[in-house]
A and B are shown apart, each in its own frame.
Chain A
Amino acid sequence: MFARNNFARVALVVLAAVCIPCIAQCSEHGEGVSAAATVVFSIGQFPITDSVIMSWAISLLIILAVKFSLRGEAQIIPPRGQAMIESLVGGLRDIVEPVVGRKAFGIVFPCLLGYFFFILLQNLGGLLPGVGSIGIYSGGEFKPFFRPANADLNATLALAVVAFFAWAYYCLRCAGVRGMYFEIFGNKADKSEISSFVYGALFFVFLGVGLIECISILCRIISLSFRLFGNTFGGENLLHNMYGFSSLLKNIPVVNYLSYLIPLPFYFLEFLVAIIQSFVFTLLLSVYIGLVCNHGDHEKEILKKEEYGYNS
């Protein structure tokens, strides 16, 4: 046991001794993915970047994959492809429905499904071979043709802006202008429990809280977009650096055969991050909608079911 622990420690030290200088060398050479997407060509005034190309390609793949999985219309006895889509849709529905509330669920779910599948597959697209590595050298600089869409702030910002407008639309549709005003600025104190003076004074407090809430709502665009961008961009950089690191190891005689395996664990990590981030974005949007539209109807129904022993 002691010998095994010592061997592990020595191996760790040797690995660190080899890795740290190599990673440092990678950093000194400035290798890594640029924060801005690379413009590949332009259509009129619209620049088409590598992330836009990737976004279009993955979008096309998603639509075709779903279309071919369903083989036309969905069937009551599902084929394999439909069963897979159904399991994802059903799983997301079970999670999202209690969050957004039954009232809003019907109209919100298509949008949430779109976000989940779009972000998930765009993230997973970043793990495909050739993404970030196929391109041309122009002016001594490498210009890739493909870059994960969510590793471009334009894409994540666009998703967040659309999410913001979707949030506003769904909240207005479910709660109405009055309901939204009450949710943000309304005096939520119980009049029967406090004096009229305090209740009146609380109007100003809630007005101030509402203003802060408005800033918070606007900041959601930044938080949603930067969270997704940061994770995807970080992952892309990690994979890129690990490839750079493995190429440096090729010069070392003993470990050169193992150098190709170095990025492999990080692919699994990025796979996990892709799923988690798509889920986080979708869940956060549903929470934002649920904060305004969900007033505990689901919980009330569960309580009612428990009370009457009814099970639908």
Chain B
Amino acid sequence: MAISNVLMFGMVDFSGLLDKFGIDWHLLLIQSLNFVLVAFLLYRFGFRSVARVMDERREKIELGLKYADDMKREKAAFESSRAQRAESARREAEGIVKSAKDGAKAILEQGKMELQQQSAGMILNAEKEIARRRKKILGDAKAEIGTLVVEVAKSVLASQMTDRDRNNYAAMAEKMLP
């Protein structure tokens, strides 16, 4: 009994509440349909394309960032390899310069040595030539002096000297000559 009274009281109050707030199923239906229609139209002609473009932009940004990261990495790698290449080229150039310097030095030394040898040979040859010519001149001078001596002695002694005496005199003259 008590429960039914409470329920009835509740129902009466609930019904009064509905009247007080003007609850009407027609209005509920109108407002529901209105909202569903607006939500559908908003999404169909507005938010769908906005959401799609936002996703597309996000993908592009992500790709752009990824590309920028890749480029940064590639740049770092390129710079590192460039530095390595530059270092190796520098070392190679230094080697080339050093070897060129060494080669030039060696060529210079060799030239110097060859010149020294050539000059030494020339001096030797010149000395030899001088000695030969001196010897020849001396020989010629000796022969000429000997002949002169003989001729003088011949003219002095006339016909009294023998061939043996002549030869002895020539030998003596030869010894006396320096």
Residues of A within 8 A of B (CB): 35-37, 45-49, 52, 55-56, 59, 62-63, 66-67, 70, 73-76, 78, 82, 85-86, 89-90, 109-111, 113-115, 117-118, 149, 152-155, 157-159, 161-162, 312
In the assembly, what is the distance between CA of A113 and CA of B48, in Å? 10
Cα distance, A167 to B145, chains bound together (Å) = 151
In the complex, chain B residues whose CB is within 8 Å of the CB of A154: 21-24, 27-28, 31
Query: How far is B50's CA from A75's CA once the two chains are assembled, in angstroms?
Result: 8
| B28, closest chain A residue (CB) | A158
Assess A111 versus B54: contact at CB under 8 Å? Given A35-B21, A158-B32: no
Tell me which of A52, A89, A159 contacts B47 (CB under 8 A): A89
Residue on A nearest B41 in the bound complex, by CB: A63
- Taking CB atoms, residues of chain B closer than 8 Å to A111 are 39
> Is B144 located at the chain interface by the 8 A CB criterion?
no
- Min CB distance B73 to A, Å, is 16
Question: What residues of chain A lie closer than 8 Å to B30, measured between beta carbons?
Answer: 46, 48, 52, 158
Measured CB to CB, the nearest residue on chain B to A52 is B30
Q: Is the interface of B mostly helix, strand, loop or mixed?
A: helix
Tell me, in angstroms, the Cα distance from A52 to B28 when the chains sit together. 10
Contact A66 B46 (CB under 8 A): yes
Q: Is B119 an interface residue (CB 8 A)?
A: no
Contact across chains for A113 and B23 when beta carbons are under 8 A apart: no
**A115–B40 CA distance with the chains assembled, in angstroms:** 11
Q: How far, in whole Å, are A195 and B49 apart by their CA atoms in the complex? A: 55
Which A residue sits closest to B30, measured CB to CB? A52
3 closest A-B pairs by CB: A114-B39, A36-B22, A158-B31
Give the residues in chain B near A85, CB-CB below 8 Å.
46-47, 50
Q: Give the distance in Å from the alpha carbon of A86 to the alpha carbon of B49 in the complex.
A: 11
With beta carbons under 8 angstroms apart, the residue of A47, A63, A117 that contacts B24 is A47
Are A75 and B45 interface neighbours, CB within 8 A?
no
Residues of A near B98 (CB, < 8 A) are none
Q: Are B23 and A86 within 8 A (Cβ)?
A: no
Residues of B within 8 A of A73 (CB): 49
**Bound state CA distance, A109 and B29, in angstroms?**
23
Task: Identify 12 new A-B residue pairs, CB closer than 8 A, beyond the known A70-B50, A110-B47, A113-B42.
Answer: A36-B20, A45-B26, A47-B24, A47-B27, A49-B22, A52-B31, A63-B46, A85-B47, A85-B50, A89-B51, A157-B28, A159-B32
Chain B nearest CB from A179 CB (Å) reads 25
